[in-house]
Amino acid sequence: MSPVSQAVEALTRTLAPASIQPLYADPFWNARYGPQRARRFGDEDAVFHVRYLVQALDAQRPAILEDYARWLRTLLFTRGMCSLHLDQHFEGLSLALQAEGFGQGTLPHTYVQAARDALRYPSGAAHPLEDASPALIADAVRRLEARLPPGNRRRLEQELRLHLSYLSDALALDRPDLWEAHLRWYADFWPQRGLAPVTFPHLLGALKAALGPEHAEARTLLARAPVSWEELPS
């Protein structure tokens, strides 16, 4: 093994838990999968991320980690997660590596960033949707901010980013059924986000209103949401 891959492998028991721990602060995981299952699978995935990083480093092939990221994203989407969740876990791994001396400019950091970049869709309807996400989020926030409790703008932006990620995955993977299943589950979970009086229908309505004709496929899929929702005035 190369010295850098050996060094990262030796840190597996430090890197894996450090990478996943911040995600457990989100009540989504316990609500969606139950505390024990969320922890068990989250901890296992964290170890696998490090193992694939070690393999990629040893082979000097970032494509190993990139292919793993794309494969895992498809699998996780069928289990109720989205690209953003996986990206957040890789971000946690980057921060854990940085804490151990493998910051920006080092091979481990570069390889993990390559895996994060691989989660971006290069073509199809999901590609322009991802590119437009910052503008769409800003537009939707503008439509919702009058209802938003003070001090919650960042949390609302995070919710919008999350659902745009689910929407992009559903478009790219051609799984409208999983998008609809996610929305049905999330409608019951929404009160735990603590953004009342903004409701989940308000969020969906603001996203639909923000989507222009260039995002026709996304707008059509959003319109199929299996929850009662309203489009806010512009």
Domains and CATH numbers, the chain: 3-118 (1.10.490), 126-223 (no CATH)
> How far apart are alpha carbons 181 and 213 in whole angstroms?
25
181 CA to centre of own chain: 17
pTM value?
0.95
Cα distance between residue 62 and residue 5, in whole Å: 12
What's the pLDDT at 223?
Answer: 84
| pLDDT confidence of residue 1 | 85
How many angstroms from the chain centroid is the CA of residue 96? 18
Tens-digit pLDDT string for the chain (234 aa): 889 999 999 999 999 999 999 999 999 999 999 999 999 999 999 999 999 999 999 999 999 999 999 999 999 999 999 999 999 999 999 999 999 999 999 999 999 999 999 999 999 999 999 999 999 999 999 999 999 999 999 999 999 999 999 999 999 999 999 999 999 999 999 999 999 999 999 999 999 999 999 999 999 998 877 665 554 544
| Residue 224 confidence (pLDDT) | 77
8 A C-beta contact, residue 172 and residue 82:
no
**Distance between alpha carbon 156 and the CA centroid of its chain, in Å?**
15
Q: What is the pLDDT of residue 233?
A: 47
Task: Report pLDDT for 118.
Answer: 98
Dihedral, 141, 146, 148, 154 alpha carbons, nearest 10: 30
